Amino acid sequence: MLARDIFLAKLHRGAAPRVSAGSATSVVTTDLMQEVGVFFPEAHLDAEAMARLAAAGHEVLGFDNVMPLFSVWHESAALGCQVDWGERGRMPDGRAMTANLADDVPIPANFLEHPGCAIPLRALALLKRRLGKDAAVVGKVFGPWTLAYHVYGVENVLLASVLEPERLKQVIRRLLPVTVAFARAQIDSGADALTLADHCTRDLCSPETYRDFLLDIHAELHARIACPLILHICGDTSDRLSYIRKTGLECFHFDSKVPAAAARTLAGDSLALMGGTSNIAVIRNGDEALVQADVRGKLSAGIDIIGPECAVLLDAPYRNLRTLRDAVVQSGGGGR
Ligand SMILES: [Zn+2]
């Protein structure tokens, strides 16, 4: 069974000869950029550079999937947010367009043609053509909750969730078509599956906020986007996993703040689990033995796709990601 097929089978908790090694978020490190000879910020701004760096996820690290949207700002740049695309050792950052949730920020009719969207769409097509038989090509979209953070600012959205909940629901409804349109364009470009990142995390909001603002929205995204979706939420999500499993989404990409065994119990039998390996303790600071022990823990907990919990820190050594992948493959475990 090819890496691509193992990854896609495991997204559904399906049968495969082994568990998968992969990630819904960036696996780029500074030493991986040096290995490939492609660097930030060019890899955010040029489709060929983006595709070459993303391909290293499979060709150098050996992961079962590739994912070229390394930054969180692509579609927000296309909506009109000012974005600083960063530098070799620094991820991009952007600025909100307005602090006032009463502003109906216009959604440009041609936002998919803006470089923020057009470049990753071209990179996905290149990856599909070059690696599409061997590795799963995973795209990434942001859900309307995170898009609202980007457009209006995090504090303003969180305040509105308490003070103006009906207005915030209108804002989320207005932004929802952005997620759907970018997702469908990525599928048309060759994405086999999509990361849906929507940062309704415990540090910032309650589980009831997830239930009241996002459960139905995520279920609707699942219904309207015709490929497997991997929901990514950083931080401790143990208090909202019981809601997430009701969305019908195929897979949840979880943070090491949720112990793997607890995540498995809370996710139930049908929601696949990806990630859960600490980016600081294991991927950046760990040695080979620690990485291998972490993989054994994930295997015994029943994690379907093993890999880092979120975007890997740029100063991590990529050999730890390769070690993780080799441990997953050599284990031969977890198949069913
Ligand atoms: Zn994250």
pLDDT in tens, 262-298: 999 999 999 999 999 999 999 999 999 999 999 999 9
85-135 pLDDT, tens per residue? 999 999 999 999 999 999 999 999 999 999 999 999 999 999 999 999 999
What domains can you pick out in the chain, each with its CATH number? 3-331 (3.20.20.210)
195-253 pLDDT, tens per residue? 999 988 877 888 999 999 999 999 999 999 999 999 999 999 999 999 999 999 999 99
3 state SS for the chain:
CCHHHHHHHHHCCCCCCCCEECCCCCCCCHHHHHHHCCCCCHHHHCHHHHHHHHHHHHHCCCCCEECCCCCCCHHHHHHCCEEECCECCECCEEECCCCCCCCCCCCCCCHHHCHHHHHHHHHHHHHHHHHCCCCEEEEEEECHHHHHHHHHCHHHHHHHHHHCHHHHHHHHHHHHHHHHHHHHHHHHHCCCEEEEECCCCCCCCCHHHHHHHHHHHHHHHHHHCCCCEEEECCCCCCCCHHHHCCCCCCEEEECCCCCHHHHHHHHCCCCEEEECECHHHHHHCCCHHHHHHHHHHHHHHCCCEECECCCCCCCCCHHHHHHHHHHHHHHCCCCC
Give the per-residue pLDDT at 304.
98
56 alpha carbon – ligand 1 mean position (Å): 21
311 alpha carbon – ligand 1 mean position (Å): 6
106 alpha carbon – ligand 1 mean position (Å): 27
Average pLDDT over residues 155-173: 96
199 alpha carbon – ligand 1 mean position (Å): 8
231 alpha carbon – ligand 1 mean position (Å): 10
112 alpha carbon – ligand 1 mean position (Å): 24
